[in-house]
Amino acid sequence: MGMLKLDGVTHWSIPVNDLAESEKFYGEILGLESKGRLGNSNMSCFAVGGHSILLCQRKEPVVRTPQQDNRLHHAFDVGPQMFERACKLFNEKGIRIAEAIVYRERGHFTGRELYFLDPSGNMLELRDPTWKPGMPTPTYEEIVKS
């Protein structure tokens, strides 16, 4: 055990280039619960699954790529129907897909994964942990067309 024992997570922070655009994306597209802006700061709080996420306006807009950040990303769990709904919605809204659907059979986080980018270029992941080896493995395009 480490020298300290932490009790929990207060929040995670995601840097964004345009706070208003990001609030719309995280609230309206991803469906996170808006808790509002933090006072007069350039931060906005959202909640999902018992966690708080702060969107923090960058002082200088930056365009990042997943390769620059060694695939740094934030992942969210969804059920199988929501996973497929997300594929269709992302296609309809023109949300950038970072890579094809990954079907992960082994490791810490098994299931099917969809990697996409928020308006600031931050990579995010939707994970359907119900997918198991032997189940169908449709491509993103096949899901979108179904």
Question: Per-residue pLDDT for the chain (146 aa), expressed as one digit of tens each?
Answer: 678 888 888 999 999 999 999 999 999 999 999 999 999 899 999 999 999 999 999 998 887 776 777 678 999 999 999 999 999 999 999 999 998 899 999 999 999 999 999 999 999 999 999 999 999 999 999 999 99
Using an 8 Å Cβ cutoff, are 33 and 50 in contact? no
Which residues, including other chains, have CB under 8 Å from residue 40's CB and lie 6 or more apart? none
Pairing of strands 123-128, 73-77: parallel
Rounded to whole angstroms, the Cα distance separating 94 from 80 reads 21
What structural domains and CATH numbers belong to the chain?
A: 1-61 (3.10.180.10), 63-146 (3.10.180.10)
